[in-house]
Structure 1
């Protein structure tokens, strides 16, 4: 049997993960003296307060290596194989740590098949890779076929978002003080996406209204060129902003309602209040990942 493991950054709803037999290992948030387990925390309660956290932003931490080792060891002892898909190494060391742990387990079980995959992104951009892998496993695809389908999906998905303020990016060191001040003075909003595992800002616009339009314009360009398989709206901050964004911008383009799912707070605390789209196309998206096979770490 193939076991599929991912992290909570993939933002896959708990009921979907259970239905698709996806094992989710949790990230952690530290807010003062309080520790949040991302898989069980009340994300909307946290996001309702995130606008007040800019001067004291919580921190995040990776899953304990011991927990990863236990999951891999259990699979090896059961005679199962593992495909483990994690947040891009450009944003977290989780995949690298998982690969290190997998090597230890593999050394104890020579016939154990395990592959660690860097999803090349985060949020449901990562989650779509996991869901495509889960579908392939259910269809009875071979281990190698499932691995290839997963990384090919990474080249077909995209996450496009626009922070309402640059303050969180500045506080987290993602941009400098001068850039944040200039952006605030002229109402400059970057349209962000993940390219080859790194967050980039290919477009900058004035006013947040134009930013929301720019997000949807990117979605439309990709739909026209590569087709669309699935799209969701994601959010950081109050859910109501995402509901309005979906109704005013996304659903008129698609012609149907979309799911609205929060971004992992471990990502959200670095970005601040945001609306976003995450989608997977029918064909490889231009400029997303140069070499999907480079995401595979064979143990």
Structure 2
């Protein structure tokens, strides 16, 4: 049986220990700041917030380009000769990264491309589902694994509350941003992935502590999330008391395992400091 290698982009925000555990291959996306191009993950997220504090400008982000994908896939093939790569990509409806991967893959045999239609923890949930399944069933065929991954994509549910409306507005990635009227200080929008697009779906009033609890309540009412695993996403600056309360709330709702995922440069550039999100897979 030929070895299957799973890959994805840095926008999945995969914790490094899980990258190592499952031998996942991650290609960086880009952050443009002060006229310089940084690979996502190569600079502290705090630098993004400091940059905004100094300049009142939001860094921009760009996709992994075709040449980078060619190099990425070539490196994997050199490291794991005769392998089959299954690349689980960042939603094609918010970035050109996946299309660039498609173009680059034409130069190689045995690459299966899957558009996860998700980002950050929602993408991570899909990748980690695939990694766990591959570990449990090492003899599974690439075709069968790809079918199972495709089947779980509609079941990955992501919702988050950004830390800053300024960052969200400047990012320009939310399809119905016009519905977030005025940036009122006491309004906290909920952003969800719907059909691969970032959409504003609800608004919460008050502080992040109350809003995060309401978000979890609404999320669990709407989606039949598998209680075996839940992912909480946070951007640097989220109050530790909010984390403690959400851990307790997850246990109260019967979750066996909770994993916190720190938003990396790509997501933090669009959501700002102190954001909170939830991701999980439906049963």
- TM-score over 0.5 (shorter chain): yes
Bigger drift between 34-43 and 13-22 goes to 34-43
For the Cα contact (< 8 Å) 1:125–1:154, is it kept in 2? no
What are the equivalent positions in structure 2 for 1:106-125 lying under 5 Å apart?
A: 106=108, 112-125=109-122
Tell me what 1:191 maps to. 190
Tell me what 1:23 maps to. 25
Tell me what 1:167 maps to. 166
What is the CA-CA distance between 1:70 and the residue it aligns to? 2.5
Tell me what 2:53 maps to. 52
CA distance in 2, matches of 1:249, 1:71: 37
1:200 aligned to 2:202? no
CA distance in 1, matches of 2:155, 2:178: 35
What is the CA-CA distance between 1:53 and the residue it aligns to? 6.5
Bigger drift between 190-199 and 265-274 goes to 265-274
CA distance in 2, matches of 1:38, 1:174: 18
What are the equivalent positions in structure 2 for 1:70-89 lying under 5 Å apart?
A: 70-74=71-75, 78-89=81-92
What are structure 2's unaligned runs of at least 5 residues? none
Tell me what 1:144 maps to. 143
TM-score by length of 2: 0.84
CA distance in 2, matches of 1:18, 1:53: 36
For the Cα contact (< 8 Å) 1:28–1:61, is it kept in 2? yes
TM-score by length of 1: 0.80
CA distance in 1, matches of 2:261, 2:102: 29
CA distance in 2, matches of 1:135, 1:63: 26
Q: 1:258 to 1:74 in 2, by over 3 A?
A: closer
Q: 1:249 to 1:132 in 2, by over 3 A?
A: closer
What is the CA-CA distance between 1:181 and the residue it aligns to? 5.6
Q: 1:42 to 1:117 in 2, by over 3 A?
A: same
